[in-house]
Chains A and B, each alone.
Chain A
Amino acid sequence: MKYDVAVIGAGVMGCSTALHLARAGMKVVLLDRGPICREASGVNAGTLTMQMTRAALIPYALRAYEMWLRMAEWCDGGHVLATACPGLSVAFTEQEAAMLEERARIRASAGAPIEIVSAARAREIEPGLSQHALLAGHCPMDGFASAYLTGRAFRPALLKAGVDLREDCVVRDVDPGFTLDTAAGRMDARRLVLAGGVWLGEMAGWLGVPLPIKTLINQLVVTERMEPVMRTVLGVASGLLSLKQYANGTVLIGGGWQGIGDNARGGIAVKPESFLGNVRLAAHAVPALREARVVRAWLGLEAETADALPAIGPIPGVADAWIIGSVHSGYTSGPYMGRILAQAILGEAPELPLFPIDRLLAKENAA
């Protein structure tokens, strides 16, 4: 039997692509070397914010935001407890205030409804905010999800759409045509989608395509349940903090501080200095967090291309092979990126343009 398409990597990008292709009638196999959404898609901060999204991705993120909030409607009831709330990006110094104003202006012109507000106004929106704030970017369109639910949310919908979901099924190599050498034997597919997160570089290598992908080892910290201390998604001008309190009372502290790890070993260790710096920054923003107890810190791997813009589109020189990933704040935009890639694979015009990787390969050749 030959599949119409084999999608390798069952994170949010792969799941969304597979789901949309299967619903359009394709026979899809979705493979992952581990369980569904167990890497970045299942361990990220679940921030659905425009204020950490790159300007070029704002139009995509706005559409994906709606998809997350209405996930149950298009995912057969599956959801990630997506919650809408206001978002604040805060400046504590004059220098940060300047950066904040510039970044808010750029993101607003890209379509994000961000306005600069005074510290006093920011504290009305977020009473938990510290007295140190000078200024804030306010975006009423913000929110968060429980990323750990992502696999559970997608799985039933994928199965219902007829996707052949192969978890714990490593793909070792891909031959032209395409024949996949997997833990469950050889599989044939007419089309190929690579959706392997930070491992996209190795996957592109199967096809002889040199695609350099940088790996970020992002740190996250969660507190015990506590009384309500905040009600917004809170960040800082530099993007190096994300804070939100879930309905169960836990506060999640992120922002992309770096731990130790790599593609081969995964995220192996939190750096004590990153851990301390990240939680100090959090407590500087929301002083009531001093009363919290930290329960766990962990790491998730994020992929980044040379220009920090996505790799989404056809793979040059290999007919019927596609790639999707390396999307900055990729969880936020993920489901929408899968949808437009599926449109392109189905021969339709994508609603918004893809991010072809020719530019990244050309740079590689030039270098």
Chain B
Amino acid sequence: MLHVVEGRQQPDPTESQDVTPRLRVEGVTVSFDGRQQAAVDDVSLSIAPGEFVALLGPSGCGKSTLLNVFAGFRAPSSGKAFLDGQPLTGPSAKCGVVFQKHSLFPWMTVLENVAFGPRRLGLQDPRGIARELLDTVGLSDVANAWPSSLSGGMQQRVGIARALATRPPVLLMDEPFGALDAQTRALMQEELLSIWDKLRPTVVFVTHDIEEAIFLADRVVVMQALPGRIAREFQIPFDRPRSPEVMDEPAFIEHRREIADIIRVEARKSFL
């Protein structure tokens, strides 16, 4: 039986788990110069190892900024951030990042892009690792091509392969499928889930697509804008592995409606 569990307004940071949270932010605020409202305002969030969390919300809700804090790309103006219980001081090879604009290095071939991480970490046979990963994402044919000659979908797959090459315990993804057409996006979602099934990294997945969030995640954190705060959290109970048919189930639709309502209310606030 599929059931919905209401999320709390704010997760209780003192709720203890047997394992240290993989990622944690505590009262984190990020403000930018020249902007009145903080991009992220006093947000606290805890993510367990192996959890797949979606950060969902309209533009301006601070989801990408929060992801950048997790990635170590941006230090919070106030509050603390932790990776495996240690304070975050900068980017770490433990957190693989997949960007919206793939950000592949144009001056390296696909293979060299994917081998970059393993090389930096001094792993054995970086090119072999890279080839394996390209196989997994089905791109062995284009190993020696330049990134600029690939289609958008292929570039994103390379981006994912590159981030996974170092087998990072954490995978941070910032609207990775946003620039793709609907069909490619659907295929990429399935592929991501199948990879995740095998490797089970902790994932923080930023998106504005409600269905994508529900389909992929264990927990959906809905954020509101101006200032960026957590509005609600939803546990997603569907069993894994998930197939696209789950999107037709009433529980799924119910979730989607509920989340959409919240977002509409919040979006209206920033619209006005």
A, B in one complex? no
Chain A contacts to B: CB under 8 angstroms: none
